[in-house]
Structure 1
Amino acid sequence: MRCALPMYPFPAASLDQFWHGLFDCMQREGIADVPHQLEQPQDLLQHWQEPGLLLSQACGYPVSTLLHGQVQVVGAFHFDVPGCEQANYSSSLWVRKEDAAKPLPAFHGAVAACNERHSQSGYHALRSAVARFASDGRFFSEVLFSGAHRQSARLVAGGKADIAALDCVSAYFLSRQEPEVFSRLAAIGFTTPMPGLPLITASATPPAVLAALRRALAASIEAPGLEHARSAMRISGFSVLGEQDYRICASKAEQNLADGLADW
């Protein structure tokens, strides 16, 4: 079976400690063939579609579109960072410090940096934020695709882009890992909250195993030996969610197109 938690730049030692604790919780629930180590997949879409996927973390937009019918949603972690509430999260909007006093409409005609088109937090959340300010379906003069939130932040800090939407959990960790970059940036607001990054399992995972995964994840939130790891990873809870909770990601993207916002 295959497992990964590939979406956030967690402190490596804390992630390792948390996984070993979650491994124990999964073992106690009778889940078979749990790997001792997490994978570090390079091709996320291929990884998410693996038939032997036991547990991973994905993005809400592809779960509601490309991965529809191919995975099951297990639930979502809660994170104790600005921009999160219970199982919901948002994107923080980052600009250079000298532009921090500008309202979002003032970035009409600016250059945006996005990680990639299938990202809820870096692409679709930003589209939803600017849709009502667009003219003839356009808001930005150019959109650069960086490949990662970390790179989007660097593009803005370096002056190659003017604004980027970063997953608020990613931004929390990146701001501590790249203080020089973030010393040149300021957050000017948050996008509309959406369901947090989904924990998923393969479509073929039996219902009994899905239920056991949910119990194991809930137990990991209460396990006293994992307090330090959870604190370092900012994990504060877990909610059971289903695929229906993520349909809003696809429907909002479709609404932006229907309302006339051009593709970037």
Structure 2
Amino acid sequence: MNWIASLPMYNVTPALAADWRAFLADVLHEAAPLTRIVETHEPLPAFWRRTDLLISQTCGYPLMQGLRESVQLVATPEFDAPGCAGPDYSSVIVTRADGPVHSLEASRGLRVAFNQSDSNSGMNALRHAVAPLSRDGTFFGEMIATGSHVGSLTALAEDRADIAAIDCVTMAFVRDGLPQLAQAVREVAWTQASPGLPLIASKGVDTSIVEALRVALTHALRTDPARTKRLRLKGFSTLSLADYARIEQLESDALACGYARLA
């Protein structure tokens, strides 16, 4: 098999994207040197299901919404970022820095920005936080899909939205690389924690290669300590699908409140 690999999820700036690509190259050099690093031009749900996928990164929500039938878990990064604890992460709920919103409840009837409907950090965790405040299945006045967390932050900064939930790792990278954008928003609340974005492989990848990838991921942390610090990486955990069931529980809790979608 001619394997491919890509880490598409935390490329907040071009410099960060270059660091992730270099980190991945070091991992593959040790574990699978013939693997080709590619750009993900096709929609991510299709890319993640490719049978020639050696390693990539996905979100826990699509993983539990059907992707798990096509992939296996490799590892979950542990990040040095506010809102992270081991392999768990949270979303920081933010508003415009000079806006009037000072609590989640105060955003009732206002404009919510979210990156996409299959995001755990931008939609599912926020839905869970809002559900107890909802009335007859509604809470917000307008929903704005932005396509990315940076897009949601930009919508807040430009007064096109009033509130959004941002993956805390992304928010840390924005503070590092896009400080002006970070300063345009302020914290309102935090969502409940859940397992972070996992590294995955096609189910066709042999378990011996998966084990080699796990070893290589840890070794790559030591290859370039300055890069590891820029990537805010602390280590990797090996989780199971049972661990990721906590993401399904966030959805179940919201449904129990009669709040099936951001509305």
What amino acid is the match of 1:174? V
Q: In 2, are the aligned partners of 1:9 and 1:174 still within 8 Å (CA)?
A: no
Q: Alpha carbons of 1:219 and 1:228: their partners in 2 closer, same or farther (altered >3 Å)?
A: same
Q: In 1, are the aligned partners of 2:10 and 2:17 still within 8 Å (CA)?
A: no
Q: Which runs of 5+ in 1 are unaligned?
A: none
Deviation at 1:42, TM superposition (A): 4.2
Q: In 1, are the aligned partners of 2:11 and 2:20 still within 8 Å (CA)?
A: no
Would you say how many aligned residue pairs link Structure 1 and Structure 2?
Answer: 257
- Matched with 2:43 is 43
Deviation at 1:23, TM superposition (A): 2.3
- Matched with 2:246 is 248
- Matched with 1:90 is 90
- Matched with 1:119 is 119
Percent identity reads 34
Deviation at 1:101, TM superposition (A): 6.7
Deviations 1:155-214 (A, max 9, x none): 111111100001111112223433333322112232111101010000111222222222
Deviation at 1:111, TM superposition (A): 1.0
- Matched with 2:7 is 5
Q: In 2, are the aligned partners of 1:4 and 1:57 still within 8 Å (CA)?
A: yes
- SS of residue matched to 1:68: helix
What amino acid is the match of 1:15? W
> Does residue 21 in structure 1 map to residue 19 in structure 2?
no
Deviation at 1:113, TM superposition (A): 0.3
Deviation at 1:244, TM superposition (A): 2.1
- SS of residue matched to 1:94: strand
- Matched with 1:170 is 170
Question: In structure 2, what is the Cα distance between the partners aligned to 1:82 and 1:260?
Answer: 31
RMSD: 1.8
What amino acid is the match of 1:6? P
Q: Alpha carbons of 1:122 and 1:234: their partners in 2 closer, same or farther (altered >3 Å)?
A: same
Deviation at 1:100, TM superposition (A): 7.0
Deviation at 1:56, TM superposition (A): 0.3
Question: In structure 2, what is the Cα distance between the partners aligned to 1:75 and 1:43?
Answer: 22
What amino acid is the match of 1:256? A
Matches within 5 A, 1:99-178: 99=99, 102-178=102-178
Identify the range of structure 1 (197-206 vs 13-22) with the bigger mean alpha-carbon deviation: 13-22
Q: In 1, are the aligned partners of 2:94 and 2:164 still within 8 Å (CA)?
A: yes
What amino acid is the match of 2:68? H
Question: In structure 2, what is the Cα distance between the partners aligned to 1:123 and 1:145?
Answer: 10
Q: Which runs of 5+ in 2 are unaligned?
A: none
- SS of residue matched to 2:175: helix
Identify the range of structure 1 (190-199 vs 173-182) with the bigger mean alpha-carbon deviation: 173-182
TM-score normalised over the length of structure 2: 0.91
Q: In 2, are the aligned partners of 1:74 and 1:240 still within 8 Å (CA)?
A: yes
Question: In structure 2, what is the Cα distance between the partners aligned to 1:51 and 1:25?
Answer: 22
What amino acid is the match of 2:5? C
Question: In structure 2, what is the Cα distance between the partners aligned to 1:57 and 1:121?
Answer: 14
Q: In 2, are the aligned partners of 1:92 and 1:166 still within 8 Å (CA)?
A: yes
Deviations 1:219-241 (A, max 9, x none): 223x2x32111111111111111
Question: In structure 2, what is the Cα distance between the partners aligned to 1:194 and 1:41?
Answer: 28
Question: In structure 1, what is the Cα distance between the partners aligned to 2:191 and 2:233?
Answer: 21
Q: Alpha carbons of 1:18 and 1:68: their partners in 2 closer, same or farther (altered >3 Å)?
A: closer
- SS of residue matched to 1:186: strand
Q: Alpha carbons of 1:100 and 1:73: their partners in 2 closer, same or farther (altered >3 Å)?
A: farther
What amino acid is the match of 2:34? D
What amino acid is the match of 2:28? F
- Matched with 1:58 is 58
Deviations 1:125-147 (A, max 9, x none): 11111111111221111111111
Question: In structure 2, what is the Cα distance between the partners aligned to 1:42 and 1:80?
Answer: 30
- Matched with 1:70 is 70
